[in-house]
Amino acid sequence: MITAIQRVLGRRSFATAKALPGSALERFGNYGILECPLLRRRAITHDTIVFRFGLPREDDILGIGVGQHIEIVATLPSETEQNAEIRRKYTPITKVTERGHFDLLIKVYPSVLPGGQGVLSRYLYSLREGDKINIRGPIGRFNYLGKGQASFQHTNRSPQVTKTFSKICFVAGGTGITPGYQVIQAVLDDPSDKTELHLLCGNRTESDILLREELERLSKTGQLKVYHALNSPPPTPSVWQGLVGVINGTMMKEVFPTPGDDVLLTTCGPPQMNSVVVEEGSRLGFRPELIFKF
């Protein structure tokens, strides 16, 4: 098992970053394997579960930066191989300062779809408390540094951009809420960080909205504005007061601030949605270099 995983780690396809000093990921070596036991899981919608995994020590932090990811590595049966090397990236929804554990928000598919979508989530669903997963990290091309400052690369080969923003706009589709949620928590945890936050979430139905209560609580400060769009809203118009339809430029223009040199637009969700956000964002006046795809 470890041999197969080590072969995976030799073929990095994502931008890697250094683990935070003194963290669990640093102690096990940057990009090395860290085994994490499942502590518990909690269903939050009909098909989405929060999995809590433990760290080696109760006082450990995981070691990723704000907006970065970990990668789960497993050897599982696939459509073409009995022992395929499977890797998936996830952004924890716990704060990067959380100690002893981290939480992953994951959509669990009822079956594995063509192309292998859902194979790892089905594996996670099969785990019992105490079973261990193998992770590596940190991974990612985005790191929120605090007080509006973000450092990011558009591709692994593009130059690093470090810039301070007064406003950050997030577009999230489904579980694509996770990196934006992590940044939002970091901003609102720092009373001296006055960055304005605007979040547009797209989901199929009202029951699919993720982290709704948490976002409502965070938005009470007034620093965070949250907007929801549903493909299939409730049949009674008076029941749903949010936006209707798939994410589009009209919605973005309605809810986001005027683009400028100090406004960052980010997107995380299905590829088609991300493409729409980039195209429509550019049309609305967001500078291409200030539109980031997680």
* 3 state DSSP class of 132: strand
Tell me which of 36, 169, 201, 268 is the catalytic residue: 268
Q: Check 31, 36, 69, 178 and give the catalytic one.
A: 69
Burial class (CB in 10 A: 0-12, 13-18, 19+), 194: exposed
User: Do β-strands 167-173 and 69-76 pair in parallel, antiparallel, or remain unpaired?
Assistant: unpaired
Q: Which two three-digit tokens encode residue 98?
A: 């959380």
Please confirm, yes or no, whether 268 is among the known catalytic residues. Answer: yes
Decide if 34 contacts 25 (C-beta within 8 A): yes
Of 31, 36, 75, 90, catalytic: 90
* C-alpha–C-alpha distance, residues 50 and 210, integer Å: 11
Q: Using an 8 Å Cβ cutoff, are 265 and 256 in contact?
A: yes
Beta bridge partners of 70: 90
111 contacts: CB under 8 Å, gap ≥ 6: 118, 122
36 is catalytic: no
**What's the token pair of residue 243?**
């936006």
Two structure tokens written together for 251: 């919605």
Q: From the candidates 31, 36, 75, 91, which is the catalytic residue?
A: 91
Residues with a catalytic annotation lie at 69, 90-91, 268
